[in-house]
Structure 1
Amino acid sequence: LFIEASQRLDREQQDSYNMTLLASDHGSPPRTGSIQVQVRVTDVNDNSPEFVKSLFSPKLPILETAPVNSVVLTLAAADKDSGSYGQVIFDFAPELSVGGAERRQQQRLARLQFQVIARDNSKEVNDRRTSTATVSVSISDHNDEPPSVEVCSPTGRCPGVGSVKEGQPVGARVAMVIVRDPDTNDRVSCAVNDGSGGTAASSFFELVSKTGSSEPRMEGSVNVWTYYLATKLRLDREQTPKLCFRILCSDSAGLSSTAHGHCVDISDINDNPPILLRAIQLNAMEEDSSLRPIGRLTDFLTDADEGVNAKLNFSLDAAATEPEAGATFSVDAVSGLVTPLRTLDRERRSEYLLKVRVSDNGEPARSVTVDVAIAVLDINDHAPEFESCSSIQLRLLENRPPPALVGRLTARDADWSNNGNGRVQYRLEKSAESSAFDIDRQTGEIRAVAALDRELRSHYSFRVLAEDQPQQRGLQLTGTCHVTITVDDVNDNAPSLRIDPPEFPAEFVVNQLEPGHRIGHVVADDPDEGINQKVVYELLNSSDQRFGVHSDTGSILVSQPLHNIRQLPGQSTHSIKLPLSIRACDLGQPRMCSQPVEYRAEIPAQTAADAAFRGGDSSLTNGRSPHNVNNYGNGSLLAFSNESVIICLVVTLLLLVAACFAIVCLIVRRRASAAALNSRTAAAAGAAGAACGTGTLQAGRLATEVDPDSVHAKMIDQQSPYYCPPTYKTNFNVEDDYGAYSSAQQLQHQQQMLQLNKLKHATSHTLPRGGFSVDGKSAGFPLQQTQQQQLHAMQQRAPFSPYTEASFV
């Protein structure tokens, strides 16, 4: 349970509070208990003493004969606080210290006015509160001797001033001040003033009575006051290494003297760690194999102390430093020199950070850890490199207005860009092809400086240079890239029809008048490409549907029979000329067409006459064709002369007579040849028929394999085959059998001629006398010719027939 104040308490208004504290439970019915509580407010030193008035003065002047320590007046002041906070202590203001009344001569009345202080008696010096009032005292004095001041060391060595270490507690003795005044019963007040060339010494020192009393001691008839010059503040050598002061003393008559030219040296203690003056940034040159030191850390650090306390030592903090950085650099322990241990490559690593521990040599030693940043300076050792240079293919539509953007190239340089080594600028290598383009030196954008015409040039090829910008122009490095720019086609050209006789005539001769006949073709040229170059052909005057043009090939075809074509008025009777208006169009967007070109289809008069003769169409010579729709109006019919018709009939009749005569001669010749053959082969037919129909015929190395069911009986030599005629009949009919068999034998004739060559190799062998034997029995057919003679007989046959072969067998 806590009791908290609900508002700010002021003890001076109310120092205690009485209250009743109630406690209740949560039962039913609830029960309560109470207790009386008194809260006393503890005092804090929040009020300063207050004088009852601001000016105090005795009613009567002080007589010079007034005894020492006589009361001149009584100061009155009150403090609202309690205890020691409310206890009031009076003192003089620092500017003037007066120890009491002094005996004065009565020759003259003087007034002494000074400030007094009323302070509380708080135990904490810094917590004490004060207030001031003015005291004005009138005295009668005759004083003509100023006091004298002597400054000595704290040990009493005169003259001399001691030294003090910094950091000493308040009240440390710096010097001893001895004040002498020969005036009897005189009062002396002394103060510390600032000395020349020093700091405000009055802020650091104060005079403290050696005896603790303001009363002087007597040395004979001289009043002597002894003070210690003591510190009021804790001294710091780094801020005030030397303090100079003056001691000013004055007596009650205002006569004074000053001791000046005294200085106190503040000796050093190791109370300051090393201080970093500025961030440590060192630069190391890459590719420097000399491994020279790159900087001294003592240039960046200091120690406010002096002597041995300010001497610094350096060491690399291995635990806090990255291993690679620690293995790359070393730090000298005494001089602080930072040295690379190996050659550096900025493109691999451009920065390093070292953690260095810096300590002094004081007791105890003080240290600090600092960051040492090392930047690797760049040298221009890399040329710019283009991205994907091997595959740079750019395209641009023709006729784009300049400056049309073609593309952008990007080159990278691994060097540092801030010094220009890695900053890339572009330019085109001068050539005839690159003159049509320009490149932005900073961005690498390639633009066409003029509208391009693909029909004049479709490809451009040139080199682009990427150059770095080092400060020394002689060290510039260059990267190159070959660029190909293809100019893409737009449909900016219409097709043009060619007319260049004889290959591309303007007139086409119609030799046949039937539909589907091709009378010629037209060709159109389009300098565009792709779909823009694809040409289709159109016949503009195709309403009569007599002609048509193939849209893809340009072939001109007859669409309807032209037997009934009429001659135009004024045309020659030797031919009929029909106009054909044709144009060519491409398939691009937008579609472009050539100007119509007038062609002519010429039908010779003779062609028309022949067509009329073959077709028997009287409409060629009389009347108007009911199937012909034309736009030529009334004209004369084609006229054919009677002489031409008679000549044609006579020629035809002569041809028929000659054909009949030839047929008769052929029949007679064939019958004579058949009769001769029949008489020559009668005997051989029986023997051959027996051989081919009964079995195997053997004669030396020759043998015949007979198949009675086959059409041919094939006689086989070990080297070459021969064929037999069909199985012979006893009632052999030359006409019938020859006609049935000659067709098959003519097909075999070429193969048998090949066999003649093989038979030449067997001419040295002679068939045995006595003829052939069938199944080991004599056939009774004498064969006394050699194989050479047989070959000769075969070669003499003309034409070759199965019956001559049978005769041979």
Structure 2
Amino acid sequence: FSIVQLVSTSVTHYSIPEEMKEGSVVANLATDLRLDVKTLNERKIRLDIVANKKYLDVNKETGELYIMEKIDRELVCNTKSTCYLRLEVTLENPIRIFNIDVEILDMNDNAPQFRRDTIYLDVSEAAPKGERFSLSNAVDPDVGSNSVKTYYLSESEYFNIEVQTGRDGSKNSELILLKQLDREQQAVHNLTLTAVDGGKPARSGTASVIVRVLDTNDNKPTFDKSLYNVKIMENSPIGSLVLHLNATDSDEGSNSDITYSYSLYTSEKTQEKFHLNPTSGEITVRGMLNYEEFNIYDMEVIATDKGANSLSGQCTIKILVEDMNDNHPELSIKSFQSPVSEDIKLDTVIAVVSVSDKDSGENGIVDLHIPDNMPFKLKKSTDNYYELVVSEALDREKVPEYDITFTVTDRGSPPLSDNETMTLELLDVNDNVPQFPKSFYTIRVMENNAPGALLESLSAFDPDLHENQYLVYVIIEKEIANTSMSMLFSINPEDGKLHALKTFDYEIEKEFHFHIEARDSGSPPLSSNVSVHIIIVDQNDNAPVIVSPWRAHGSVVEEKIPRSTDKGSLVAKVIALDTDSVHNSRITYQFLQVTDATLFSLDQYNGEIRTMRMFSYRDPRHQRLVIVAKDNGEPSLSATVTIKLSTEETAVKAYSDMTEVPLEYDIFSDLNLYLVIGLGSVSFLLLITILVTIVLKCQKAKPSKAAPPSRNSVISERNSTIADSTLVSNDAYWYSLFLAETRKGKLVVRQPVPKGSRYIVSSIPRGTGLTDTSDSAAST
């Protein structure tokens, strides 16, 4: 732009565009006012701006008028007319005042602007084509050609605008309806109105025009379906929702408010079962539903709006009531056979059962069951009929009766069931033999028992019932030594108690074997037997009997012994026998009295009496020994023997200790040994003579009647009363030795056998009469 100077006589005019920048020179006052630049500072130039003093100033050195701050014409003047900045320039010495007008020229620096960004218009959908509607104008602070020139409307098939010019030159626009509106098709039309100024380049401003179409009641309510099919469970509680109807009306306001009602075609029964809410359109259950009673309901519902001229629509609803598994299955026992025999045949029918269910579909299909662990099974005969048959062998003794529970269950979800229990009793048959608790009875009976004493109760058991379990007991006959068992024992035929009929003696009868039979009373009867072993238990009822040394009269035995007997020599041997059992017959020996306890010893087990030392001249010539033999019974029994020993100085036969030899060998019965006591040193010839004499005596010498019995004699008198007898003993500590005296006999010595074995000691038969041979000597 160029600065134009307006020259007048009183006011100096300048015109400047408002877009001039800060610092731009407006005019050179020194030049324009013909002022001397050199004297400006001296004359104190001063610029007074009447208005808007902040925009202009004068350079005091050059006299140039320049812009201090960018000028906005619309802000400075705010008017559509011309815009001036008035200034006064004052010089001193002399004072001169200059008036200057600076005109601010407009530029198109502002776009048109609507007072509101959005313009709302309400147009009835019944408005006729061609109807006009005023729109707000846009304003532009620029002036002249830079102000609003015209208006434009966005494309629309329903609206257009027409621009008109006012008396003051302002531009106005009107909205014109091109065709009738349909609110239900388009309730709101969004348009854009644009205002354009005449500047170069042109500027524009826009506003949104929202046309709201006002409703008229020109649409009736409609349902989304003309026919509704609804399923509902029969057990639906009262008040439960069946269907929510939602009729729509494309109108608005009261024109779209809808009420619902049943039509005249809806039956009273349906209306009694279902309630229709007139406001919300909800259909709910009013009465109890029962599929088995009625399962299909038809209804017609009308929807009416609330417009001035109300319109309505309708729909049909079919409600299908679905079956609920609400009926328990039922069972009926048509026949039941009880009791039955326990030997009933397999596949025999014992019951017939019918089942049913009022429900339908899966809810009405039923199944019948019995427990899996029973010997029965179900067979389906016809529809809903079952037969209960025997599938396994029955045994009354194991299970006397069965509680059979019939359970019927439908296939609904959840399933329902019913049950009934019947008791099947089993009749007994005689199919079990009597049973003894043991297969073998060992009964110990103490000897000397009282006749009739109870020995044992041999009761058997029969699991059958009634007469099939009534038992009779008998002893199976067996003879022993021409004696029947029934003479020795008796059994109670009813309770099986066994009694002894006699008193038993262990030393005579030690055991019995027989059988007892138990027989039931069934038809046919069944029986079983058990083996009985009677053992007679020994009592200590026999005292020991001393069989050696033999006592002819009384209990005193006299023996002679040389005083020269060595230490450890056998003086005598005491033998006692006890006919009781092993335990009671075990014998031990003890001294009751002894003249000198230091001279003799007694073996407590074999009864041997030996010297503990040699006799001295101080020892008495006569010794008295009292020996007791005790058995092992409780209480213990005993026997005693007294031995009187006399020592002598004369030579006597020498006897050696008894030596045990095998049974097959005998020793010489007339062996008499004489011991010769020599003192000092004897010549060899005298010794030979003595030896020859001893040998001759052993072969030829005959003992006189007065000869003393040997100290090793077991039986000292010839008239023994126990010869030719047999003795039995089981004592493990005894020697198996039996000595018997005969007129013509030999000494028999048996070897001992192992402990616990039975020893039998027997004698050689004794002869009669005397003989003069050497064999007639007393045997030892």
**When the two structures are superposed, what TM-score results if normalisation uses the length of structure 2?**
0.37
Q: Which structure ranks higher in relative contact order (CA pairs < 8 Å, sequence separation ≥ 6)?
A: 2
The structure whose Rg is larger is 2
Structure that is richer in strand per residue = 2
**When the two structures are superposed, what TM-score results if normalisation uses the length of structure 1?**
0.35
